[in-house]
Structure 1
Amino acid sequence: MYELDHIVHFVDKPEQTMKEMQAHGFHVVQGGQHEMWGTYNTLSYFDLTYVEWIGINNEAQFEIAAGKPYTLHETYAKKDRKNGFTRMAIRTTTIEQDAEMFRQADLEVHGPERFTRTRPDGTVVSWQLLHIGHPEQHFDFPFFIEWDMSNEERRAQYNALNIIAAHPQGDIKLTEVIYLVNRLDYIKALQQLGNLQAEEHFDERLNAMKYTLYLPNAKIVCYSAQGEGEIWDAILADGLGIHSVVFEGAGQQQTIICENATYVMK
């Protein structure tokens, strides 16, 4: 089963972003160091789905990481290190089988590879990552993650550590990720491979095709412009990829712009 795991937002200083998002009513915690990538993070959880604010703290190590195909580090480098939403991770429990399935579908597959992160308290978190892509696509697919603990174990541990906790803004849930894409065929191929529920229709107001993928814990909404209009303009202004993230259950409706990323609170 596939679920939305997390959204990666590159920022200059994750510790500063933590303070900014806390001021907006988010519960945010220190993450830790990714020594193998030259990065570090802060985190905000919505049950087991979370937003990860990542910054660079080792340039040499980051350059090595950015040289690996279809990684979030490569994506950030290709965008000339423009801060904002960079990639999305899908949680899986069948990462080895997923890798073989994507190979059979003629996608380029890298991994799975095992990684770790050390928390500020010295405990170690471990997981596997799988990256896929196609040289003809102009936006980056989500990558896949399999944690070494079950959802139940992680939820219990993160609650005990106050990593998962109530948000001052309200009972917030991350419910929707909005993508801007140049074509839908690769998205439809992923939908078929993952056997996901989906629907498609033409949005006349936006002059765009809207293709929605339904995961058990969130919607992935992809817009492909069919000519001039809001989506066309947004692609010209911001490029392809994640455009915004939508939350429900907030105490007040607002749109938060943080380092080129749009958080919509409903």
Structure 2
Amino acid sequence: MGVQLTFDHAVHFVNKPEQAPEELAGLGIHTVNGGRHESVGTYNALTYFDLRYIEWIGIFDPKLLPPHQDTQRYGLVDTLAGDGYVEGLSRIALRTEQIDELAEQLAAEGNQVIGPVDCSRRRPDGKLLEWKLLFAGLPDEGLPLPFFIQWNDSDEDRRAELTANGTITDHARGPITLDYVAFTVRDLGKTVSRWEKWLHLEAGEAVYDDYWKGKKQVISLGSFQLVFLEPDQEGPAREYLQSRGERPFLVGLNSGQGGSPEQYVNIHGSFYHLK
């Protein structure tokens, strides 16, 4: 039995996070400015769906970025391109309350493990948020494992505070849930078997996705799904794999209303499934 894991957030790099609240309001999605990671030169905006969220992150001072090997862990390595960033989804984070045990578990299974590392961010209202991060994987793993986070505050306290300050609130589009993240991969079987082993979870059967034109498999984390897609025909998913490599390419959002037609929209370099 592995450590209990919950989906926490997806990291999406954008040139100007401060523009995200206005941009996403046009889709009926509530977003707030987050704050700065002062020691590493990044800042963010945040879109919450209960405690699952999307982090729209940018760089306010490239000179403060950590060394190359550290930026690679955070998924920052491919964002720098000329005077701007390569925008798009980069990594996901899974939440745990057993981060030290998880570090031992992943190391025992042959992974290179870094952390837990103490981290913090100061919110615009001045409050200092603190958490621990854990990175694990192998240099040749293809699709990188998620990184792992343990918040200093409990889920109940975080939900109450984020609701009180307006970060978690109703979306104009409806009571949206963040249901899945999909990844483009080159070898479906190899990738899924590695994630099954390291996350101590079991995938469903491989099926064909007619829309994205490729084989896919799903690993479930409770009501949340990790979807792995190996595209085998020309189309947006294959183009994404060729240009961005093995990484998240799609986030599924569900308003549960049934009134609006579902749609796939490209938001700053990656896809969002709105229904």
**Is TM-score (shorter-chain normalized) higher than 0.5?**
yes
State the Cα distance separating 1:74 from its structure 2 match.
3.2
Unaligned runs of 5+ in 2: none
The list of structure 1 runs, each at least 4 consecutive aligned residues, that deviate by more than 4 angstroms after superposition, is: 204-207
User: 2:10 maps to what in 1?
Assistant: 7
TM-score for the superposition, normalised by structure 2: 0.88
Query: Does the 8 A contact of 1:4 with 1:217 survive in 2?
Result: no
- Using the aligned pairs only, state the percent identity: 32
Task: Tell me if the contact between 2:14 and 2:85 (Cα under 8 Å) persists in the aligned partners.
Answer: no
Corresponding residue for residue 25 of structure 1: 28
Q: Within the alignment, does 1:114 sit opposite 2:114 as a pair? A: no
Asked if residue 265 in structure 1 is aligned to residue 274 in structure 2, the reply is yes
- Secondary structure of the 2:176 match is strand
Render the CA deviation track for 1:16-53: whole Å, top value 9, x for unaligned: 12210112111111100101210001101000000110
Does the aligned pair in 2 maintain the 1:250–1:265 contact within 8 Å?
no
What is the CA–CA distance in structure 2 between the aligned matches of 1:84 and 1:49, rounded to whole Å? 18
Which residue is 2:164 aligned to? 160
Give, in angstroms, the shift of residue 66 of structure 1. 4.1
- In the alignment, does 2:63 pair up with 1:60? yes
- 1:240 corresponds to which letter in structure 2? E
Q: Deviations over 1:197-221 (max 9, x none)?
A: 4212141746633120101241010
Equivalences for 1:138-157 in 2 at 5 Å? 138-157=142-161
Conservation of the 8 A alpha-carbon contact between 1:40 and 1:54: yes
Q: Distance in 1 between matches of 2:26 and 2:53?
A: 18
How much has 1:260 moved relative to structure 2? 0.6
Q: How many Å separate the matches in 2 of 1:111 and 1:164?
A: 29
Q: What SS class does the counterpart of residue 120 from structure 2 fall into?
A: strand
One-letter amino acid of the structure 1 residue matched with residue 74 of structure 2? T
Match of 2:251 in 1: 245
d(CA) in 2 for partners of 1:140, 1:89:
11
Closer, same or farther in 2 for the Cα pair 1:204/1:169, shift >3 Å? Answer: closer
Aligned AA (2:11) = V
Question: Per the alignment, in what secondary structure is the counterpart of residue 30 of structure 1?
Answer: strand
Name the Cα RMSD after superposition: 2.2
- Structure 2 counterpart of 1:126, from 130, 136, 142: 130
Query: 1:52–1:117: structure 2 CA closer, same or farther, 3 Å change rule?
Result: same
CA contact (8 A) 2:180 2:226 kept: yes
* Corresponding letter in the other structure for 2:241: I
Conservation of the 8 A alpha-carbon contact between 2:13 and 2:58: yes
Query: Within 2, Cα distance between the matches of 1:181 and 1:140?
Result: 10
Q: Distance in 2 between matches of 1:234 and 1:74?
A: 17
Distance 2:268 2:169 in 1: 24
Between the aligned partners of 2:78 and 2:113, the Cα distance in structure 1 is 16
Partner residue of 2:225?
219
More off after superposition, 22-31 vs 135-144: 135-144
Instruction: Output the CA distance in 2 between the equivalents of 1:240 and 1:88.
Output: 13
**2:29 and 2:171 in contact (8 A); partners too:** yes
Matched residue of 1:193: which SS?
helix
Q: 1:113 to 1:38 in 2, by over 3 A?
A: same
SS in 2 for 1:264: strand
Instruction: Work out the CA distance in 1 between the residues paired with 2:209 and 2:265.
Output: 27
* Deviation of the 1:228 alpha carbon: 3.7
Residues in 2 aligned to 1:204 and 1:67: alpha-carbon distance in whole angstroms: 35
